[in-house]
């Protein structure tokens, strides 16, 4: 995750999970996929949100956000004997082919599946009532509980395990305190309140303001 990205970009080097013999293309050493997870914050170049960018502006924004991330660059240097990201040539940038950029925002002829807190109860399991039918994909029931690459990978392993019990699936480690905080967040979400961290932050601001007013009166 590019933590300082206005678009909250997540990246994944897909060759890490493919066989080393897979041909990525002529002179291509790495193939990254990425997701823009926030569409409400403007980028630093054109001061536009994802939904208001042209295709060219969107590409320039994500390139800047990726290349300026110091933490990512340090990881690249660590894995490549001190050679930073900017020292590699960028062969090509592709945007999802179904995205239609327009003045009204980004549209697509095939709306994508997503998972939300309201759809968790309806997500299907990998094993179905049909003996030879198995499902895999981020839209199925996983412990990741979110539409993501991680959820898709987990679903694939669970589908494989349903076929062959020798397949290993690593359970998500969720200690009791994490599960407790998740329950609190669920309650806050149900009453349309900010999530817990934001709620605590707002509470501290209000408390500080109250203490300041009391101090002024005394």
Closest C-alpha among 166, 128, 123, 167 to residue 144: 123
Residue 54 phi, psi dihedral angles, 5° rounding: -80, 170
Mean per-residue pLDDT of the chain: 89
Report whether pLDDT(181) > 90. no
| C-beta of residue 130 within 8 angstroms of C-beta of residue 124 | no
Q: Which residues does residue 100 pair with via DSSP β-bridges, in sequence order?
A: 107
Confidence category of residue 173, pLDDT binned at 50, 70, 90? confident
pLDDT score of 20:
83
Residue extents of the structural domains in the chain: 9-107, 120-163, 176-217
pLDDT score of 68:
94
pLDDT score of 6:
95
Report whether pLDDT(217) > 80. no
| C-beta of residue 126 within 8 angstroms of C-beta of residue 162 | yes
pLDDT tens digits, 15-67:
887 888 888 888 888 999 998 988 889 999 999 999 999 999 999 999 999 99
Report whether pLDDT(11) > 80. yes
pLDDT score of 155:
94
* Lowest pLDDT segment from 52-66, 100-114, 152-166: 100-114
Report whether pLDDT(116) > 80. no
Q: Which residues contact 3 (CB under 8 A, 6 or more apart)?
A: 69, 71
pTM for the complete prediction? Answer: 0.60
């Amino acid at each position: 995750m590019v933590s300082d990205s206005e678009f909250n970009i997540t990246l994944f080097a897909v060759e890490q999970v493919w066989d080393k013999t897979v041909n990525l293309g002529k002179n291509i050493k790495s193939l990254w996929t990425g997701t823009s997870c926030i569409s409400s914050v403007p980028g630093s170049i054109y001061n536009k949100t994802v939904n208001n960018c042209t295709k060219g502006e969107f590409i320039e924004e994500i390139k800047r956000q990726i290349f300026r991330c110091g933490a990512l660059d340090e990881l690249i240097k660590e894995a490549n004997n001190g050679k930073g990201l900017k020292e590699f040539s960028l062969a090509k940038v592709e945007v999802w082919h179904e995205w239609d950029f327009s003045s009204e925002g980004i549209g697509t002829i095939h709306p994508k599946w997503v998972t939300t807190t309201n759809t968790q109860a309806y997500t299907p399991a990998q094993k179905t009532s049909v003996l030879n039918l198995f499902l895999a994909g981020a839209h199925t029931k996983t412990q990741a509980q979110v539409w993501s690459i991680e959820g898709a990978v987990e679903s694939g392993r669970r589908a494989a395990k349903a076929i062959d019990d020798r397949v290993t699936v690593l359970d998500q480690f969720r200690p009791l305190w994490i599960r407790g905080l998740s329950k609190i967040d669920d309650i806050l979400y149900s009453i349309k309140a900010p999530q817990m961290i934001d709620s605590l932050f707002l509470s501290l601001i209000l408390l500080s303001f109250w203490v300041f007013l009391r101090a002024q009166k005394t």
